[in-house]
Structure 1
């Protein structure tokens, strides 16, 4: 039972981290401004 809780917690943590990273990148680098620049 505890392993299931840990698994869910890890999944939520990863999803939350990705969402925060995307929001942070949007604030720092607006997509309209970087279109055609820095395609790396």
Structure 2
């Protein structure tokens, strides 16, 4: 699978894992093109 070859940190699949926090922190590292429109 290609996704295993990417440099992603695989989040732990636990019931107490804060997925929303992980996603937010992950996307905060990505510069969005939409921000350049403002």
TM (norm. structure 2) is: 0.37
Q: Which has the larger radius of gyration?
A: 1
Larger helix proportion of the pair: 1
